[in-house]
């Protein structure tokens, strides 16, 4: 009986070795390699697109300019219900810092500008005698930023503000 067990065990071991080697790894075909490369390319593109959708005011403006370089900020307030526009020019460094600091924590998500707003502000950040940033702020919801010193895909963009932004620093200029 022991001899039969050894024989059966031996047969099982031989069968196991045969099955183990029969499932040998096969070389991928050119089509499989191309498919994997294509799918990886799509994944990298999608991840890059999602990452670029989210930004902040600091990334788009504050990190690209030194506060002490700003000589003035011009703000034009327009209301959609009237054709009246009011323009204010700020040259006081403390007020400039207040305006820029109010934007410090603003988080942005790529979006188109809304046409549904109560008030709009056109903000020009001036360095020396030339325009450095042109910003359009619609209520506390949408912002469009144009960096005139750049000439690439990051030079301008339209965004939805995805966290709270306190507009008092700008509103108080028009009281």
Summarize pLDDT for 81-131 with one digit per residue, the tens.
777 788 999 999 999 999 998 888 898 988 876 667 778 899 999 998 899
Domains and CATH numbers, the chain: 2-53 (no CATH), 56-174 (3.30.1490)
Alpha-carbon separation of residue 112 from 104, 130, 152, 158, 174 (angstroms): 22, 27, 19, 6, 27
**How much of the chain exceeds pLDDT 90, in percent?**
21
Task: Indicate the pTM of the whole model.
Answer: 0.68
Predicted local confidence at residue 174, as pLDDT = 81
More confident of the two residues 17 and 99: 99
Residue 12: pLDDT band (50, 70, 90) is: low
């Amino acid at each position: 009986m022991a001899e039969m067990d050894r024989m059966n065990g031996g047969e099982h071991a031989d069968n196991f070795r045969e099955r183990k080697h029969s499932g040998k790894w096969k070389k991928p075909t050119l089509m499989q390699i191309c498919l994997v490369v294509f799918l990886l390319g799509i994944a990298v593109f999608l991840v890059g697109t999602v990452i670029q959708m989210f930004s902040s005011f600091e990334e788009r403006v504050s990190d690209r300019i030194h506060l002490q370089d700003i000589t003035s900020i011009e703000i034009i307030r327009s209301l959609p219900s009237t054709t009246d526009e009011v323009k204010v020019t700020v040259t006081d460094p403390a007020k400039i810092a207040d305006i820029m600091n109010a934007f410090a924590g603003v988080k942005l998500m790529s979006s188109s500008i809304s046409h549904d707003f109560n008030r709009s502000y056109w903000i020009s950040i001036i360095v020396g005698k030339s325009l450095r940033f042109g910003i359009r702020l619609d209520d506390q919801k949408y912002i469009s930023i144009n960096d005139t010193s750049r000439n690439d895909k990051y030079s301008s963009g339209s965004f939805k503000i995805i966290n709270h932004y306190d507009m008092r620093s700008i509103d108080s200029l028009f009281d």
